[in-house]
Structure 1
Amino acid sequence: MLLEDSKVQIDLTKGASHTLKNLGIVYLSLYLDHDNFSLTTPDTSGELLKTPGCCTENLHVSGVANTARHLLLLLDINHPLLGHHAGCLSGTKEVSPWTRIIEITFPDSLASAADLQEVQSTLGFLQETLNAPFIGHNQRKIRQEATRLGLLPEQGVLSHDERKALPVIRRYVHGLHLGATDILLFGMISAKLHSLGCDISQLQCDDLTQKWFERMIDIAQAFEPFYMNFLRENVDLKVELEMETSNKEIGIAEEKADPVENQGEVDKTLLLKMDEIANNYQYQELDDFPVKWDSLSDLLKPQRNKVNNTNKMFQLQSILAGVHLCVKHLRSLNLPKIRIVDFCSGAGHLGIFLAHHFPDCHIILVETKWGSLRYAKERIDKLGLKNISLCLAHMEQFVGRFELGVSLHACGSLTDKVFQQCIRSSAAIVSSPCCYGKIVNSESLLYPKSERFRNIIYDHNEFFKVSRLADHESNNENYMKCVDIDRTEHLREYGYQFVGISKLKPLTCSPKNNLVVAFMD
């Protein structure tokens, strides 16, 4: 039990606490322990992340799946609702169908349902899931558990072959036992029906889905009165789709990859033009900032298998030079505070390093993987750093204001999403890109990014062929350079006065050794 005597603050969208995503989290918190969670609707001007979310000490969590998992992990790292190996809803929405259902598909479709019949139509995926036989990683153990639960006959009643041929019937969406997904789904459905003045008994479902509803009703009996009271006090009986702010110009929108046609050779005339642009561009020289690594705690040094990662240390030292330049400029503006966001922070090597070197700045780590942030938190606590916060969230869920955005080898298009975030906040940028061959068009990102390059490369597939050449180990320097020149030209179009491409030193510390530095006057 990690909660001890303190309460976990669950943040709900101000003015929209009736949204289904919020209500799924409310339902889960009431199921766990309605006395240990405080529900708030914070002033959105001070938020770091989109809600729903939760906050404990210096850790901020955003999104339905992340918030649900974190509430459960606070109670027990092996909480039964997290399922086998605590894997329930652990994948991102890009790779996990259930996370995508919980975060986007189901709440959006359910919220738009105008009557009982339309609610009924949104439950097709649920009925399909519950009617599919349960097949897991250890089928023998699953069948033993199903027998114990009375879902399969005891051995001896049927022959071995007859018994083996019987499918294992699901009791819940992930198999035989209740999971967080069941509670989130039921909480949303219950809230929507309440808003329509309907009852679950009015739904027309097949037998297995009806039994799922009956089990969920039994489970909810202990806390259902608290939930209904919450709905009466906070919901205006209009469960609507939460409208999320988007900006198509710098859009931080839901990504839908545009398939790339990458057949054939790159036009040689285009390659000659890229070589010309690259050869005429001069790299920006930054002042060196030598780091006395021997005098630093091992907790500040990036390590691999308990051995100092020398290349990563050189990378951090090079980025420190860019950050020094930007912080010096920001201080000249007499800003009340300087907030530095380390996007795609991983285990926090860069962010923790910066928190140590800039004690008067506040550092925010933004990362999607809890395992990486947990390791970062352990190091932060041991170092006693007080100027650092952690955000478990996708990049597009971060909505806080900041003055400097940094990233080290954010893969492919993630580097451009970092730039989008910085443009949104008019923030300075220090970023070393990576995986040029993985950039791809989406609703929020179109390549080439700058008008200059769009006037040269009319077909984005030709640009992607150039970017893929940048990932080749031989003769890739000019192609990497051109992709990043396109990025810097795009930044100039948004008002960045100082924009330059420098290099990580020594060049051998990484094959992807470009460093983009930019700020506004």
Structure 2
Amino acid sequence: MMDQDILYLVGSKEDGSLLVPAETLVALFTLQYCRNPAVSVVIVDKKEAHVSQSSDECKTESQETVKELWFPVNAECIAFPISYKELSECPTVVRDCVLPVILMASEPWCVAGLCSSLRVMLIKTVKKYPTHYCKKLLGFRGGCMQACAEVSVWTKFCEIEVVNTLKEVYNNKSIVQGKLCIPKDILRYENHFQFPPILHNGLKIKQQYIRDTVKDRAERQRLLSLKLSELPEMEHEYAEGLNMTMADVMLFTCFHIIISKLKNHVHLDDMCPLVMKWYRLLCGNEYVNLSLSLLQKTVDIHNTFQEHNLEIVVPEVQRESLYNSDPERYKPRWRAFTHQDDIDKVLEILGVSCIEPSYDNHPLGDSIKLPWSEYPGALSPQEGQLPPSRLERKCQQLDNIVSAVMSLVNEGDVIVDFCAGGGHVGIILAYLLPSCKILLVENKDHSLRRAKQRVDALKLKNVEYLQCNLDYFQGTFDLGVCLHACGVATDLVMQKCFEQRAKFVCCPCCYGGVRPNHILEYPRSKTYRDIPLALEEYLILGHTSDQTHDENNPKTEQGQLCMRYIDNDRLLLAQSLGYSTKLVLMEPKTCSPKNHLLIGVLEN
């Protein structure tokens, strides 16, 4: 048994140096900032980046295979112990995820993803050393970058976009035909600082600032009497406002190298003065300054572009905050998607295209009700802290989805319960299928903890826990299942199943949350794209799908039709990849407003 949690990072020893990808570089710098992190660090010698085997139709441009870029690090300056392993020496649960990964001591439980693993590292360090200076990096109530990149513009910026910008600048991708194009993410970050910081307990913070800085008693009393909306805005100093957080350390790692490479060619103080002010503020931090030696080898090797007299190109960037805006997100007229004229237009386009999605017969007929009274109490959704008012309907949903899985599964299969929550689906599958291995994939710690309590009570030995976003899971499996995976999550689950050529049973939810991201494009199928159905029309279809209430509501029938259109698009993509599919209405249909089951099996 391990006595300490282990953080696994990708890297390679070569000619006395440590070579690492950008994500590991960010992680190492954050660890170096903490000086004495409460985790063991293992460098996994894995030069080949994971490349999925999905078909070309599944891939977006951002998923195309790119030559992995490695950065040199002086291992001798690292302030904490590191060890080395081959990938084959790592536990299976670690190999099932894209590194970085933290493996918990004495548990089949790992946390994957750059932001998530670093947050856990900070939490563990603060728990071990309660007065540690890195506690502030976790932010207000420990929530720094807790939201996943698929739904949070800010997390996506810190975890993916700036890291990719570092790779492009370092690899001279910013230069084309003698022109140096300033990365958009630098300008987006500059715009970010032009907006007021988001303040938690804003009135209290501003009043304390007034007490600390305003010397004139009368003026101080006047300001303290004002409402929050009447007080002047405070300066946006750090990435997330008034205090330094993990986001600052992660972003600094990338910006330090980017700025070092650009500064001899571009007047950055003129172009992005607020970014440079933030950068100098971070450089003045004691622990950042002590950690800079870790980046020095990378800066020294490629500290400038070889070409001279480059023409500087400054792209246009929309002036928006990174907290709540996505420059690539479609913005509908009137700020709404469900005006009836727009809905009628989309339904007319689909009607003319002769696409008429319909339901298949339920594959299990009358045999879908599970004998709940015969099962141990810990199997009941009630043990997952479900409110009594929802218990009967949740059992009905589980009747449908578990019975569908049971009709497809083979002995010894690996089954992944994606978006597992409290484990309602995965736990009963683990109980009914002891010869199968069940992986619970969920990004919320408290949900997985509830699931583990139930698994422990049932003494099940065939369950593993992966706390990560869907795009960080890369394990091999035979069947994927999800119950009410919200918005894009259903498509991410199906994408994972396509990559592994695995069977799937999916119950979608929150159709209005469907939108393109760095992994997915919409419409999903070539059939819908060839209609053609524009993105804004597709998003209208998704939002209208959420207008399913009860049978007496006049919007419900229309919403159900739009649900069928969206799910038909998903299944047409699966069919183009060789799947035999079914669109099934769960029984009874009142068990949920989102009562579709999408079932797919590869044809022989």
Q: What is residue 6 of structure 2 aligned with on the other side?
A: 8
> Is 1:346–1:373's contact at 8 Å kept on the other side of the alignment?
yes
Q: What is the distance in 1 between the residues matched to 2:403 and 2:428?
A: 13
Look up the SS of the partner of 1:431 in the other structure.
strand
Q: What is residue 123 of structure 2 aligned with on the other side?
A: 73
The yes-or-no answer on 1:512 pairing with 2:594 is yes
Q: What is residue 334 of structure 1 aligned with on the other side?
A: none
Amino acid at match of 2:578: G
Q: What is the distance in 2 between the residues matched to 1:133 and 1:272?
A: 49
Within a 5 Å distance, the mapping from 1:98-497 to structure 2 comes to 98-113=154-169, 136-143=199-206, 145-146=208-209, 152-154=213-215, 156=217, 159-161=220-222, 168-169=234-235, 172-190=238-256, 208-209=277-278, 212-216=281-285, 218-220=286-288, 227=294, 237=301, 263=342, 265-266=344-345, 271=351, 278=358, 282-285=361-364, 288=367, 290-303=369-382, 307=388, 309-328=391-410, 331=411, 337-436=412-511, 439-440=514-515, 444-447=520-523, 449=525, 451=527, 457-460=531-534, 468=544, 471-472=547-548, 473=550, 474-475=556-557, 480-481=563-564, 483-496=566-579
The 3 A distance-change label for structure 1 pair 412 and 172 is closer
Amino acid at match of 1:75: T
Q: Sequence identity of aligned pairs in percent?
A: 25
Amino acid at match of 2:400: S
Q: What is the distance in 1 between the residues matched to 2:195 and 2:348?
A: 54
Q: What is residue 53 of structure 2 aligned with on the other side?
A: none
Q: What is the distance in 2 between the residues matched to 1:313 and 1:182?
A: 45
Look up the SS of the partner of 1:517 in the other structure.
strand
Q: What is residue 41 of structure 2 aligned with on the other side?
A: 38
Cα RMSD for the two superposed structures: 4.5
Q: What is the distance in 2 between the residues matched to 1:120 and 1:512?
A: 42
Report how far residue 406 of structure 1 moved: 0.6
Once the two structures are superposed, residues 34-59 of structure 1 have per-residue CA deviations (whole angstroms, 9 ceiling, x without a partner) of 57331322556763233333332433
Report how far residue 135 of structure 1 moved: 5.8
Look up the SS of the partner of 1:499 in the other structure.
strand
Once the two structures are superposed, residues 141-180 of structure 1 have per-residue CA deviations (whole angstroms, 9 ceiling, x without a partner) of 32465468x6x24563955347887764455333443321
Q: What is residue 250 of structure 1 aligned with on the other side?
A: none
Tell which deviates more after alignment, 138-147 or 408-417. 138-147
The 3 A distance-change label for structure 1 pair 170 and 284 is closer
Q: What is the distance in 2 between the residues matched to 1:158 and 1:464?
A: 52
> Is 1:17–1:41's contact at 8 Å kept on the other side of the alignment?
no
Once the two structures are superposed, residues 216-267 of structure 1 have per-residue CA deviations (whole angstroms, 9 ceiling, x without a partner) of 2x12355556x36xx75x999469xxxxxxxxxxxxxx99655678715256
Q: What is the distance in 1 between the residues matched to 2:182 and 2:565?
A: 51
Look up the SS of the partner of 2:30 in the other structure.
helix
Amino acid at match of 2:9: D
Look up the SS of the partner of 1:430 in the other structure.
strand
Q: What is the distance in 1 between the residues matched to 2:476 and 2:41?
A: 25
The 3 A distance-change label for structure 1 pair 435 and 125 is closer
Q: What is residue 243 of structure 1 aligned with on the other side?
A: none
TM-score, with structure 1 as normaliser: 0.75
> Is 1:146–1:176's contact at 8 Å kept on the other side of the alignment?
no
Aligned length: 484
> Is 1:369–1:392's contact at 8 Å kept on the other side of the alignment?
yes
> Is 1:286–1:502's contact at 8 Å kept on the other side of the alignment?
no
Gaps of 5+ in 1: 240-253, 332-336
Amino acid at match of 2:246: A
Match of 1:82 among 138, 147, 153: 138
Look up the SS of the partner of 2:148 in the other structure.
coil
Tell which deviates more after alignment, 303-312 or 112-121. 112-121
Look up the SS of the partner of 1:278 in the other structure.
coil
The yes-or-no answer on 1:51 pairing with 2:99 is yes
Tell which deviates more after alignment, 13-22 or 290-299. 13-22
TM-score, with structure 2 as normaliser: 0.66
Tell which deviates more after alignment, 182-191 or 165-174. 165-174
Amino acid at match of 1:213: L
Report how far residue 404 of structure 1 moved: 0.6
Q: What is residue 244 of structure 1 aligned with on the other side?
A: none
> Is 1:343–1:405's contact at 8 Å kept on the other side of the alignment?
yes
Q: What is the distance in 1 between the residues matched to 2:354 and 2:138?
A: 51
Look up the SS of the partner of 1:265 in the other structure.
helix
Report how far residue 25 of structure 1 moved: 1.4
Once the two structures are superposed, residues 442-493 of structure 1 have per-residue CA deviations (whole angstroms, 9 ceiling, x without a partner) of 6733336264x677x5435777666636844543566645554444343232
Q: What is residue 251 of structure 1 aligned with on the other side?
A: none
Q: What is the distance in 2 between the residues matched to 1:282 and 1:191?
A: 59
Q: What is the distance in 1 between the residues matched to 2:168 and 2:38?
A: 32
Report how far residue 28 of structure 1 moved: 1.7
Gaps of 5+ in 2: 51-91, 175-179, 304-325, 551-555
Tell which deviates more after alignment, 114-123 or 430-439. 114-123
> Is 2:210–2:223's contact at 8 Å kept on the other side of the alignment?
no
> Is 1:287–1:321's contact at 8 Å kept on the other side of the alignment?
no
